[in-house]
Amino acid sequence: MTDPALLSAAELSSLYAARDLSPVEATQASLARIERLNPQLNAFCGIHGDEALAQARQAEARWREGKPLSPIDGVPTSVKDLVLARGWPTLRGSRTVDPAGPWDQDAPSVARLRAAGAVLVGRTTTPEFGWKGVTDSALTGITRNPWDPTKTPGGSSGGAAVAAATGMAALNIGSDGGGSIRIPAGFTGIFGLKPSFGRVPAYPLSPFGTVSHLGPMTRTVRDSALMLSVMAQPDPRDWTALPFPVTDFTQGLEDGVRGLRIAFAPTLDNAPVDPEIAASVAQAARVFAELGARVETVTLDLPDTGPVFRAHWCVGAATLLSTIPEEKHALIDPGLRTVAAMGAAIPLLDYTRATLARGRLGVKMNQFHQDWDLLLMPTLPIPAFAAGQNLPQGPDGATWAEWTPFSYPFNLTQQPAASVPCGLTAAGLPIGLQIVGPMFQDALVLRAARAFEALHPAPLPPLARP
């Protein structure tokens, strides 16, 4: 049998139901993967094996009785170290957080997954407070890409992406405030979805405000649909949350893209794109035409998204630092301190103007989707670069958004956007195709991603192969 750690959640569920595999065996396989690969890749900053095995034994008993709590009952699952999990110190990659807690609450997504029987195996790494697009911190060290450990997996959900790519956990909670699900999904060759804002309830709300989304990170599209169906369930602690959908996100997943109107934007605002990435993404767009969609190349201009995003992100960073005692500021990542200082210097009127500009951007994309059901474009314009650096050209710098111009615009507009793997560079590094949908059309984005994945399943990274 295939190593259970490399099975999808959907496959695990089927095997559990047939009594051909138990949740205990799957959890043991997941923990064995973590033990073998985590010292090299640093995907997990907290591993809770005894607790996970106890949960797995409970799930095993439920499946044996034919009474599973959900299709993901007994599936190994990770929690990003920005998301509260009861009994676990959630240190957010920061030396400023007191490990003593108290840690007496689950965030809504963790509570829903726990209630569905997911086996929580541990906490995945993040840069300090998730502030940048790579994953390293003074607290937990450098997280590395399983396709090439000298490269970054991206961030800030880099640990979750590595866990998904290598079979350390089938289901993984990520968060995305400017690309933090899609960047590492693109760099590590997994599927990651930033849902519509409010689709997944959050508590506490991010200090980075309404650009921050929670979503699933998995090896397959179906697993993300299963996971989102659970994570999207309501929680009264989030007053921004959307109404819970009537149907689950696996319904209609195999309906394909025939007849859809799909726009393909090779770039955004004339940003340069690596030639290998440009060619791979263009070929992926042609696949959608072969599947029966009407695909046309478009020019997409969203002017001033950089300044508008920086206003929101930097003010969020300043808000975050205002909650930390000043005597601890010296412990904080210098790059985060720089971003916070930029935010603190933004006048209130300028921030208000940025908020209004954000609204105009959202209206423009709403109008765009009157003509187009979906938008295709690269997830990233560059392949993964050296681990331990904030920027591809060197180790320092605060403006990580400069090298990921295709992700944060859709945090501003709050639309659903996903990254699906669509190829490899000549150096063997993953390439991501970004699929963007109209607000609230999360199911359509999943459906389109699944149509592509059915023809082009993602390969495993070398370190994950049997």
**Tens of pLDDT along 84-120?**
999 999 999 999 999 999 999 999 999 999 999 999 9
Determine contact, residues 48/120, Cβ cutoff 8 Å. yes
Tell me the torsion sign for CA atoms 238, 242, 244, 249: negative
- Please tell me the predicted confidence (pLDDT) of residue 466: 84
Q: Which of 22, 175, 180, 229 is catalytic?
A: 180
Query: Per-residue pLDDT averaged across 281-288, rounded?
Result: 98
- Tell me which residue range forms the domain holding 357: 4-464
Q: Which of 13, 80, 94, 132 is catalytic?
A: 80
Helix, strand, coil share (%) of the chain residues, nearest 5: 40, 15, 45
> Closest Cα to residue 388, out of 154, 100, 57?
154
- Please tell me the predicted confidence (pLDDT) of residue 22: 98
CA angle in degrees (0–180, nearest 5) for 272-276-279: 90
CATH of the domain at 141: 3.90.1300.10
> Closest Cα to residue 453, out of 304, 291, 336, 300?
291
Active site residue 212: no
Distance in angstroms (rounded) separating the CA atoms of residues 159 and 145: 9
Active site residue 156: yes
Instruction: Say how many domains are in the chain.
Output: 1
Determine contact, residues 309/178, Cβ cutoff 8 Å. yes
> Strand 430-436 and strand 417-424: pairing?
antiparallel
Instruction: Give 210-229 pLDDT, tens digit per residue.
Output: 999 999 999 999 999 999 99
pLDDT over 60 (residue 357): yes
- Please tell me the predicted confidence (pLDDT) of residue 395: 65
- In percent, the amount of the chain with pLDDT more than 70 equals 99
Q: Which of 156, 157, 196, 224 is catalytic?
A: 156
Query: Per-residue pLDDT averaged across 18-44, rounded?
Result: 98
Query: Per-residue pLDDT averaged across 423-442, rounded?
Result: 98
Active site residue 80: yes
pLDDT over 70 (residue 398): no
Query: What are the two backbone dihedrals, phi and then psi, of residue 432, each rounded to the nearest 5 degrees?
Result: -110, 140
Tell me the torsion sign for CA atoms 241, 245, 250, 255: negative
At residue 178 the predicted structure's pLDDT band, cuts being 50, 70 and 90, is very high
Q: Which amino acid is at 67?
A: K
Distance in angstroms (rounded) separating the CA atoms of residues 127 and 404: 16
Q: Which residues contact 287 (CB under 8 A, 6 or more apart)?
A: 452, 455, 456
- Please tell me the predicted confidence (pLDDT) of residue 394: 73
Query: Per-residue pLDDT averaged across 123-140, rounded?
Result: 98
> Closest Cα to residue 450, out of 222, 175, 126, 171?
222
Instruction: Give 37-77 pLDDT, tens digit per residue.
Output: 999 999 999 999 999 999 999 999 999 999 999 999 999 99
Instruction: Give 255-270 pLDDT, tens digit per residue.
Output: 999 999 999 999 999 9
pLDDT over 70 (residue 397): no
Please report how the helices 49-64 and 9-18 are oriented relative to each other, as an axis angle in degrees rounded to 10: 50
